A and B are shown apart, each in its own frame.
Chain A
Amino acid sequence: MSSDVVVDIQGLTKRFGARTVFEDISLQVRRSEVVAVIGPSGAGKSTFIRCINYLHPFDAGRIRVLGHELVGGGAPPSKATLRQVRMQVGMAFQTFNLFPHLTALGNVMLGPMETKRVPARDARDKAMALLSSVGLADRAEAYPRRLSGGEQQRVAICRALAMDPEVMLFDEPTSMLDPEMVGEVLATIRGLASQGMTLILVTHEMQFAKEVADTVVVMADGRVVEQGPARDVLEHPTSERSRTFLTRVLKPLEAPGVSGEASPPGGSGRGATTALGGDVR
């Protein structure tokens, strides 16, 4: 593989007890590449993306992130390795997870001040610049619970960006948002992509994936069922499994009565149980 690969995942396998969440997943992500991970709920997409910064330990395989190696099974990586990886891999969560006891500004300043000993003044300047760039300069002093979901997610993205990450992970960044706020968050992510940030995102926004992603990975039933250039995968899926999923997701109104494990994107994200139920045995 060329040195251009910033995230190299080989044979990743994750189990919760006896249940296999996913098995033998490999993926290479190049610098400035945008990878969208899609698939039915319960396919293990979120668990997968959380392995990349080792929020979840995994059972087999290895992940090489910017020269740091995380190996599954055995002993966990050293604290130093983990911190290096996490400082260079930013993450935004489905539920935002802003720190409620800190202002928007405080949330964005915390990382650099605590990990890199950046002086408060510099951290503040940088945080303000980031918040301005997502249109939230005037909300800097607000506490998270005074912010709308869309605002919270944009602050959360700023919080991750304040660490100057090489890679950004997005774990369903818009699925907890009211429809009218999805656009502002997607615009922020689109901006990052156009600036050449390497992005790996789990999403249910198929149109967005088609528009922004270079590569699409379709996960279902704990496997990667299809992976390739975004347009090819989304418009001409070759695997039967991704074809059924995409049919239902892209044309939910035209295929109403189709039974299957995929839940439509707009539906409750907790339809997971049906898909999971299939895996449990």
Chain B
Amino acid sequence: MRRLAARRAVRTKRGVMSTLQLWGQYLPQFLAGLVVSLQLTGAALVLALALGTLLVLARTGRIRVLAAIATGYVEVFRAVPVLVLLFTAYYSLAQMGLRLPGFWAGVVALGAFYGALYGEDMRSGLQSVDPGQREAAVALGLSNGTVMRRVVLPQAFLAFLPPGTNELSNLIKDTSLVLTIGVTDLMFQANAAAAATFQPMDMFLLAGLVYFAFYILLSRILARWELNVQRRRS
């Protein structure tokens, strides 16, 4: 009995050593993958924020047709799985003659999806501002633009931050889907390393840890930022 336990301990120890060795060996690839994942996140975020802004402008604007299109867009795009959008951007657009490199197909798909979400977040941020705020600003004689810039947007931004940062955390994780169209992101590198070493558990564990570390880092930074913005106003 005791011998068995000892043997298992030895094996576990050897396992930990070899896992660490493997991780050390593949770390450069993983980091290169992480860089691609981050670039993808950044580019998709820019696209999503731009798209979200356009959507919220269209939805709150006076032109009915644009508002209807924007509403339809949001309804459709947030209802479709990101993977479907990704394959559409990569394969279907290529069939129609628009051949996007994998990275940019990823940016388009993620941007299109998260744009719909950001559009909603921005809209609810704007709606969260008490109508009395607009009234008080208007009653001072401020122009519509000034009311927006000095009174409504600063408050809407505060309401937008929590769901907005939450969306960003999800975006980072969803970038892992681009593995399926051959973009050499973090998940792709993990998959390749798993295939090469026959140690899928070790490799995906490392990928998970890298995502986790980055997620924690980013969410801490965002939370602190949120807190700062809030504290500055109390």
Contact = CB atoms under 8 A, between A and B. Distances in A.
Interface of A: 53, 55, 79, 83-84, 86-87, 89-91, 93, 95, 97-101, 110-111, 114-115, 143, 145-146, 156, 159-160, 163
A146 B142 CA distance: 26
Interface in B33-81: none
B155 A101 contact: yes
Interface in B131-160: 132-133, 135-143, 146, 150-151, 154-155, 158
Given A93-B132, A146-B234, A159-B136, 4 more contacts: A86-B140, A95-B132, A114-B146, A143-B233
A279 B143 CA distance: 35
Contacts of B155: 99-101
B140 A159 contact: yes
Given A101-B155, A101-B158, A55 B142 contact: no
Given A79-B143, A115-B142, A93 B135 contact: yes
Contacts of B150: 110, 114
A97 B141 contact: no
Contacts of B158: 101
Contacts, number: 65
Contact of A86 (B138, B146, B233): B138
A97 B135 contact: yes
B155 to A, nearest CB: 6
A101 B139 contact: no
Contacts of A115: 140-143, 146
Contact of B138 (A55, A100, A145): A55
Nearest to B157: A101
A145 B234 contact: yes
Given A83-B141, A83-B143, A114-B142, A93 B234 contact: no
Nearest to A99: B151
User: In the complex, which range does the number of interface residues on chain B fall in?
Assistant: 20 to 34
A111 B133 contact: no
Interface in B210-234: 233-234
A101 B142 contact: no
A159 B233 CA distance: 18
Contacts of A84: 141
B141 A93 contact: no
Nearest to A114: B146
A98 to B, nearest CB: 8
Nearest to A145: B234
Interface in B118-132: 130, 132
B157 to A, nearest CB: 9
Contacts of B151: 99
B233 A97 contact: no
A185 to B, nearest CB: 16
Contacts of A98: 136
Interface string B153-170: 011001000000000000
A86 to B, nearest CB: 4
A53 B234 contact: no
A97 B140 contact: no
A158 B157 CA distance: 27
A156 B142 CA distance: 15
Contacts of A97: 130, 132-133, 135-136
A58 to B, nearest CB: 16
B140 A55 contact: no
A127 to B, nearest CB: 13
Given A93-B135, A110-B150, A114-B150, A101 B140 contact: no
Nearest to B143: A83
Contacts of B138: 55, 86
Given A101-B154, A101-B233, A111 B142 contact: yes
A164 to B, nearest CB: 11
Nearest to B137: A99
A84 B141 CA distance: 7
Contacts of B130: 97
B139 A91 contact: yes
A274 B234 CA distance: 39
